[in-house]
Amino acid sequence: MDQSFVLMLSNLLHLHNYLDPSTSPLFSDSALSADASSPSSLLSSTSAAPLLFFTLASVLSYLASHVPKKTTSAAGAKTSSPSSSKSPSEFSVAAFRALSTERIWAMEAPLRDAQWRSLYGLSYPVFTTVVDKLKPFITQSQLSLPSDYAVAMVLSRLSHGLSLKTLASRYGLEPYLISKIINMVTRLLATKLYPEFIKIPVSRRRLVDTIQGFQELTSLPNVCGAIDSTPIKLHKLSPDVINGSMYFCKHGFPSVLLQVVSDHKKIFWDVCVKAPGGYDDATHFRDSLLYNRLISEDVVWDKVISVRAQHVRPYIVGDWCFPLLPFLLTPFSDNRTGTPAQNTFDEALMKGRKAVEEAIGLLKGRWKILQDLNVGLNHAPQTIVACCVLHNLCQIAREPEPEMWQEPEENGQAPRVLENEKSFYYYGESLRQTLADDLYQRLSSR
């Protein structure tokens, strides 16, 4: 029996004895013979009224103390006490299912997609595309959660930079399970979806579209991409990192270096995360798979033009921190100290580079976890690449562009020419001058 109920009965017994049960009309013969259907027969006795009053008060007090109390959660929803059944959390599977399946199509598309972007960084149609492509792999893992719910959880972390502790509290799951789900989904994005959404424009149709897009931006012929690097800030370095100083970039914080090549639509067609933040752009580029493929002519672009009797194959543009090569052209100077033709070329080239700068700004603006990467060093590359894949999905779907992340001002020096690159350097130097003279003449004649 409940202890509080026993205590109530004990209090009533003491009260009853205090009122002298021998004279109490509740237990006297006259009271027992009274008409039970008439409440006035009991209330008419002045000695019975106090006992009845205290009896009713005690019962009401007992009932009031045992009614489940409702509290208000941080999310604003009312939930019952632990002893009673809990109402579904705002982030529970049931709440997510109700939102995504029952209500979502009843909402107007702009309102629906705005709500989805605020939660997961992308619209509902793009979200379903990600889920549909990952669902077969997530199903094979025998995860105890629905695929769309797991993807939503990971996207909320990537788009808002939420910590594992916050996610565990919000979704009511153990931190180890949250970590397992995030690692699995980001790995799938970085491996299974990478070949489909991040690839070099080798098909003629896409290559021509990219070249025409850059020519409209720069007036330069045969540009097929713009390259740049950016440090991805690490929340903290792992204690087991031997040479931690190599991870501190020129801006003074620990980071890893992300190298991307973008087209004119700010879509990445190459991504590389191999070096600590302390590496320079040229060294990182020379260690990349893209460099090895280009220098060995493994990538064949079937579009060669002639400019002033010189063959010009498709090339990418970069700033002065990258090496000058036939397939990577850089500015003559960083302070307009060249000839009029050279300065005109530099201005045009920097217009092309603006596409990749804005692409990086959108990447960090949309996936805020990249502003302060709170993952282990071993999982940093796959998390960064996963965000790049999602960025491309958003750009292909023409998602509204968020506020761009502003990169710190970049200063650097032109890299030295390696011995095995000298022939490439001289050819790139000649090619660059030819393009500069041709551009200056065309613009001057207008």
Q: Domain-by-domain residue ranges, the chain?
A: 3-65, 104-192, 203-444
Please give the DSSP secondary-structure letter assigned to residue 318: -
Closest to 222 measured CA to CA, from 348, 338, 360, 356: 348
What is the residue-wise DSSP string for 214-228?
Answer: HHHHH--TTEEEEEE
The SS3 call for residue 79 is strand
pTM given for the model = 0.78
Q: Which tokens is 331 given?
A: 């500015």
Bridge-partner residues for 325, per DSSP?
328
Judge: domain 104-192, CATH 1.10.472.
Answer: yes
Q: Which tokens is 430 given?
A: 């000649």
CB of 201 closer than 8 Å to CB of 173: no
Q: What is the pLDDT along the chain (446 residues), one digit of tens a residue?
A: 455 554 555 555 555 554 444 444 433 443 333 343 333 443 334 445 555 555 555 555 555 554 444 433 333 333 333 333 334 456 777 767 666 665 666 778 888 888 889 999 999 999 999 999 999 999 998 888 889 999 999 999 999 999 999 998 888 888 889 999 999 999 999 999 999 999 999 888 999 999 999 999 999 999 999 999 999 999 988 777 767 789 999 888 999 999 999 999 999 999 999 999 999 999 999 999 999 999 998 887 878 999 999 999 999 999 999 999 999 999 998 888 899 999 999 999 999 999 999 999 999 999 999 999 999 999 999 999 999 999 999 999 999 999 999 887 777 778 999 999 999 999 999 999 999 999 999 999 87
**Cα separation of 432 and 125, whole Å?**
44
What is the residue-wise DSSP string for 240-263?
Answer: T-S-GGGGB-TTSSBEEEEEEEE-
CB of 189 closer than 8 Å to CB of 134: yes
Q: Which tokens is 208 given?
A: 């021509």
Closest to 186 measured CA to CA, from 384, 381, 383: 383
Beta-strand pair 223-233/78-80? unpaired
What torsion do the CA atoms of 417, 423, 427, 428 make, to the nearest 10 degrees? Answer: -30
Q: How far is CA 200 from CA 214, 237, 310, 381, in A?
A: 16, 33, 25, 20
| Residue 119, burial from CB neighbour count under 10 angstroms (0-12, 13-18, 19+) | middle
Residue in the block written with tokens 């009511």: 172
